[in-house]
Structure 1
Amino acid sequence: MSGLAVDGYSIERKLERREGASFATVERLLALYPGESKELLLRIHGSRGHLVAVEEWGFPYSVASLEIAPKQARAPYQARMIVAASVNATPGVYTWGIRIIDVTRSAVLGEEPITMVIVPKHMSKKVAEHVTRLRKVYENYGIQVALWSALRVLYPRGASFSDIKSLYELVTSRSVNKGTVGNMLKTMVAKKLLEKRGGLYIAVDMNRDVLFSRVDLARVRFPWQVLRRKEASVEDIKHIGWGKQQIDLCQLPQPIQKAYMHAERLAEEHNPLTALYFLLCSLLGVRQT
């Protein structure tokens, strides 16, 4: 079985075996601070003498750099991978992966997705271990449940406003202003989901049923949402899904784009009806969209 040395310790995992070929890949979760780099070793075993190559797919070059050396060699061999987050990297969750190819046989030996989390410098990297789960909680139950869960697990003694704002942005993959976060925290304190003590916010201890009754999931599950921002070679495009329709926000006038985005925040922080009233009042005078 092949092994992988990462940051001074060894991980052994066989991912693929075809006609004697196998490889061990890097960790599925990689946490970095802006400006930080990590070196990872990839040991590849295949049919002896076959030319084997390492490729990446979907790497977010806008926030980090990746070096693989050598990119191909005769099996078995070891490749070195250096991932370096840029100093100005935007904190967030980025998914990419590696693919191992037997060039001699023109066959893919295997591939593995990697989740890279750029963590704000003032936060602990342990946040990265929970981000994927918290994003699923957010998608299913809304931002209030996701943040309550995060504070219970990661900040049992309380989190500051800046910590919560960073968590909000990591979980939702979008930037939010302080006013949005402040309004949401006021709502969560009013609902007795959080307590504020000396500038810190602490999750109130409660069971699942009580939590869901206070959040009112029927209101959280609004019929539309802003889809995740996808990296592309062209300018990012945001879509709003409404039923089976999709609206390309980039094709709409800027005031209407802002109205939709603000309505989305209202639906998350309050309820869909509030968001609907806002849209009706904002767009009532618009004849064509």
Structure 2
Amino acid sequence: MRPTKPSASGRRSFSILPPLAVVALCLFFAPRARALSPAPETGACSLENAAPATVALVDEDLDLLIDDGRRAALTGLEFPPPPAQGAPERRAAAHKRLSEWLTGKDIFLGAFSGAADRWGRIPARVFAAKGEGAQAPLVSVGAALLEEGLARFRPDPPAAPCAKAYLAAEAPARETLRGLWSDPEMRPVDAGAKGSGAALLQRKGMVIVEGKIHGLGQSAGAIYLNFSQKRIEDFSVVISRRDLSILAASGIEPPRLIGRRARVRGLIETGFGPRMAISTPAEIEILDATP
């Protein structure tokens, strides 16, 4: 059975309701609800414009194979690396969770883009029933995985509308070292710690860095946020001047960040010391209150 469009309460109904006794039994044995809220009906990262679909399989890349032949990627999530790169247990846990939850199940699929990526995948947000029974609310699958510590938020440009919701979902797992956050390699790097600059030069893949912004540097084409007085040896963030207006629209203005603490996500560039280029608000969080 495919679900109909959900009501304003975030619950969905079916064209054929199960017998009352079955509904009661399903609700009685449903897992205890977590803090995750039902998916919003409207807004940038909501059920709006999401369409019913059925998941045929969750593949080894943790993409969703839809029964009509499409392939959907849970955009905005970074899963543990494949077994060949280490951490096979964490990768297997994420695959198991997705497979048990979604395989053969009806979902709502919201495409972030009308075009598939270079691997033929639809960048998507996905919503599915949390629990059993006709009254089970629809929740964001991405937010649920982040809350459970099975993935980290990755600032993919198509997922920018979900950045605020995904970061809020990730926070409890990150702060309590739940799931993949129990691995020191997955936690934020303290830019102020001794030797952090040299350590960052060895990092591969997406890295999360936290620290106080000590000063600003400038060149003809970029602004530099320096997280230390040692500008060449230690960590800095590079912002192209052409991206300044995009960041300013979200209240991120480099001159106002001096003395503030920030958390950034991205790849480490090693040509001129450990640097990270950012271009969107989803890649930087300001961690303290406005002075």
Structure whose residues are more often helix by fraction: 1
User: One fold, TM greater than 0.5?
Assistant: no
Larger Rg: 1
Give the TM-score band, short-chain normalised: under 0.3
Higher relative contact order (CA 8 A, sep 6+): 2
TM-score by length of 1: 0.26
